[in-house]
Amino acid sequence: MQTANIQTIATQPFDDQRPGTSGLRKKVDIFQQPHYLENFVQAIFDTQPELAGGLLILGGDGRFHNDVAIATILRMAAANGVARVMVGQHGYLSTPAVSHLIRKYHAQGGIILSASHNPGGPQGDFGIKFNIANGGPAPETVTEAIYTATRSITRYRRLSDAAPPIDQCGAFQLGGMRVEIIDPVADYAELMTRLFDFDAMREWIASGHQLRFDAMHAITGPYARHLFVDLLGTPEEWILNATPLPDFGGGHPDPNLKHAAKLVNLTKGDQGVDFAAASDGDGDRNMILGRDCFVTPSDSLAILTANAALAPGYREGARGVARSMPTSQAVDRVAERLGIPHYETPTGWKYFGNLLDAGLITFCGEESFGTGSDHVREKDGLWAVLFWLNLLAASGNSVADLLKAHWREYGRNYYTRHDYEGIDSELAGQLMEDLRARLGQLPGQRFDERTVRWADDFAYTDPVDASRSTHQGLRIGFDDGARIVLRLSGTGTQGATLRLYLEKLETNPDEVTRDTQEVMQPLIQIADQLAEIRSRTGRQAPDVIT
């Protein structure tokens, strides 16, 4: 390694660099502070010695500050002995694409620059996370080591040479390090063609079916153009908001019914499109829509598991499935029918990694619009969209017909999530603590026509390595199988987001097509009675309902 151009820069620790469930996320102006990004990146290199002499994958979702951060990280990687970096052209790489590249090229890790579904722009959010050699998010042992290193850091290293532009594919030397600028889409698209029946999907489109995909001016635009326009033959105009923009066009790159309302409107009525979908800032989330219908992420996981054999990459079906604890139990019912194991994990994709690596599961998902499989170690938005399109083409059914058929066969887990955003963190924490303290008193108490059967603070023991995770969300179960869950989200950058999850199983085939919010009204009232959400927060309604 060349050393003549390596600078050692004195620095001091910041006290707010503990990574959350998806890395370190802060406002852009915090990351723009001198030494802030550098301290965190140096902590990665200091705690991950395998990167020295190894291969690093680097990319992000194109949000504001992405280009500056990539140039900084390239200079630091060269100074810290990384032998080779693969970086997406323009700095673009979706989160699932990074996971795939790590696995395909046997990299020692990857750095992803994104705040996922959070807003971008100069006043928006920025984020950074490290993925380990299996392609998945760093587990707590790694993130805690990184955080510990940030608390005592005194210096970081960087190359004095500036990083050249990365707007053209090719290769160059930066100090003693080789930098390869790659097509961000090619490897990922090749993987998708091996998993799904592109011939059947082309025929479905050619037969007159209409679809729309909303990239939300985020990372999946280039991916969607290639997959849908180049490979499936859709008109270019079917890909909405396809150009990545640093501020996501002023929008909120979160694929839900509120932030993708224009897409939802395209599915309404007799003239509505047959299929519509959206993905988020870094490409790992998805929203699935049919004509006049919305597929909850919980139902999506269950339906894909039940119909796995319709996709070429999953002809043998699923070995097992896993869901995050707040996700509805719909997939559990499918797994029990299929005779395969199912697992309930804390929220955070990293908890699926051990199960996937051990070969215990094929599919996994979270209610927060994340679905995935053993093809990568991240949730994957476009993978889920293609799987649904493959399912439509192979079955000949509409989205609505597939939903109704599934509910009639397995029952319907009516399910909704209510988000109360930007709540004072201390107030939200006290609300949770007060309810946690009362959990032991709840069993046996009656609320309207329901009686609490059990209540707990969810804890998880990993079946692979026996690691233990506690305080993962408050669960209250009733005698009719209904369930209330409360937890604080770790993905925001301002205040706290209180998430309330409500679930009710309906097995009467004549009662499975009712309006979800109407069905949930009794549970909503019980939840407010238990947690005192309105009286404590002053909020009369949630900010987002999904």
Question: What average pLDDT does range 433-443 have in this prediction?
Answer: 96
Question: What average pLDDT does range 173-192 have in this prediction?
Answer: 97
Integer Cα distance of 309 and 316 in angstroms = 6
Q: Give the pLDDT confidence of 48-99 residue by residue, as tens digits.
A: 999 999 999 999 999 999 999 999 999 999 999 999 999 999 999 999 999 9
Whether residue 10 sits in one domain with residue 110: yes
pLDDT of residue 258: 87
Which band of pLDDT confidence, cut at 50, 70 and 90, is reported for residue 20?
A: confident
Whether residue 399 sits in one domain with residue 463: no
**Residues paired with residue 545 on neighbouring β-strands, in sequence order:** 418
Q: Enter the pTM of the model.
A: 0.94
In 105-225, at which residue ranges do the beta strands (DSSP E only) sit?
A: 109-113, 125-131, 155-159, 170-174, 177-182, 211-214
End-to-end Cα, the chain, rounded Å: 52
pLDDT of residue 94: 98
Residue 21 has pLDDT above 80, yes or no: no
Integer Cα distance of 112 and 73 in angstroms = 11
Sheet harboring 84-92: ordered strands across? Answer: 24-27, 125-131, 109-113, 55-60, 84-92, 177-182, 170-174
Query: What phi and psi, each to the nearest 5 degrees, are found at residue 377?
Result: -120, 30
Q: Would you say residue 216 lies in a domain? A: yes
Instruction: State the sign of the Cα–Cα–Cα–Cα dihedral 173, 177, 178, 182.
Output: negative
Q: Would you say residue 62 lies in a domain? A: yes
Q: Would you say residue 531 lies in a domain? A: yes
Q: Give the pLDDT confidence of 349-362 residue by residue, as tens digits.
A: 989 999 999 999 99
- For the stretch 528-536, contacts whose Cβ atoms lie closer than 8 Å and that sit 24 or more positions apart, written own/partner, are 529/447, 530/435, 530/442, 530/447, 530/476, 530/484, 531/431, 531/435, 531/486, 531/500, 532/431, 533/420, 533/431, 533/498, 533/500, 536/427, 536/431
Query: β-strand 321-324 against 342-345: which pairing, if any?
Result: parallel
Across all residues in the chain, what is the average pLDDT? 95
Question: What average pLDDT does range 382-402 have in this prediction?
Answer: 98
Longest CA–CA separation in the chain, Å: 76
Q: Contact 463/472 with Cβ under 8 angstroms? A: no
CATH code, domain carrying 54:
3.40.120.10
Among 86, 322, 100, residue whose Cα is nearest residue 193: 100
Element (H, E) at 303: helix 297-306
Whether residue 168 sits in one domain with residue 51: yes
CATH code, domain carrying 440:
3.30.310.50
Angle between the N-to-C axes of helices 186-195 and 95-104, in degrees from 0 to 180, rounded to the nearest 10: 90
Residue 374 has pLDDT above 70, yes or no: yes
Where is the domain boundary, 132, 167, 184? 184
Whether residue 152 sits in one domain with residue 27: yes
HSE of 120 in the Cβ direction (CA atoms, 13 Å)? 29
3-state helix, strand, coil split of the chain in percent (to 5) is 35, 25, 35
pLDDT of residue 348: 87
Q: Give the pLDDT confidence of 450-499 residue by residue, as tens digits.
A: 999 999 999 999 999 999 999 999 999 999 999 999 999 855 556 889 99
- Other CB atoms within 10 A of residue 356 CB: 25
Q: Would you say residue 77 lies in a domain? A: yes
Tokens 């050249």 sit on residue: 164
Q: Would you say residue 1 lies in a domain? A: no
Whether residue 424 sits in one domain with residue 351: no
Whether residue 206 sits in one domain with residue 283: yes
Whether residue 418 sits in one domain with residue 388: no
Cα 168 off chain centre by: 29
Q: How far is CA 494 from CA 115, 179, 491, in A?
A: 13, 36, 10
Among 440, 433, 520, 443, residue whose Cα is nearest residue 477: 443
Whether residue 351 sits in one domain with residue 372: yes
**Which structural domain, as residue segments, surrounds residue 540?**
412-545
Q: Would you say residue 264 lies in a domain? A: yes
Whether residue 123 sits in one domain with residue 34: yes
Whether residue 416 sits in one domain with residue 406: no
114 part of the active site:
no
Length of the chain: 546
Where is the domain boundary, 410, 437, 464? 410
Q: How far is CA 228 from CA 125, 219, 286, 381, 385, in A?
A: 30, 15, 16, 14, 11
Q: HEC string of 273-293?
A: CCEEEEECCCCCCEEEEECCE
Integer Cα distance of 114 and 284 in angstroms = 11
Please count the structural domains in the chain: 3
Which band of pLDDT confidence, cut at 50, 70 and 90, is reported for residue 4?
A: low
Residue 1 has pLDDT above 80, yes or no: no
Among 199, 191, 217, 182, residue whose Cα is nearest residue 135: 191
Whether residue 288 sits in one domain with residue 149: no
Query: β-strand 460-461 against 468-469: which pairing, if any?
Result: antiparallel
Would you state the structure tokens that stand for residue 347, as one six-digit string? 């929220």
Pick the catalytic residue from 22, 99, 114, 116.
116
Exposure string (b/e) for 12-24, b if CB count within 10 Å is 16 or more? Answer: eebeebebbbbbb
Integer Cα distance of 280 and 218 in angstroms = 7
Q: Would you say residue 248 lies in a domain? A: yes
Whether residue 171 sits in one domain with residue 26: yes
Q: Give the pLDDT confidence of 320-347 residue by residue, as tens digits.
A: 999 999 999 999 999 999 999 999 999 9
Where is the domain boundary, 167, 184, 201? 184
DSSP 401-445: HHHHHHHHHH-EEEEEEEEEEEE-HHHHHHHHHHHHHHGGG-TT-
Q: Give the pLDDT confidence of 216-261 residue by residue, as tens digits.
A: 999 999 999 999 999 999 999 999 999 999 999 998 899 988 889 9
Integer Cα distance of 400 and 288 in angstroms = 11
Percent of the chain with pLDDT over 90: 93
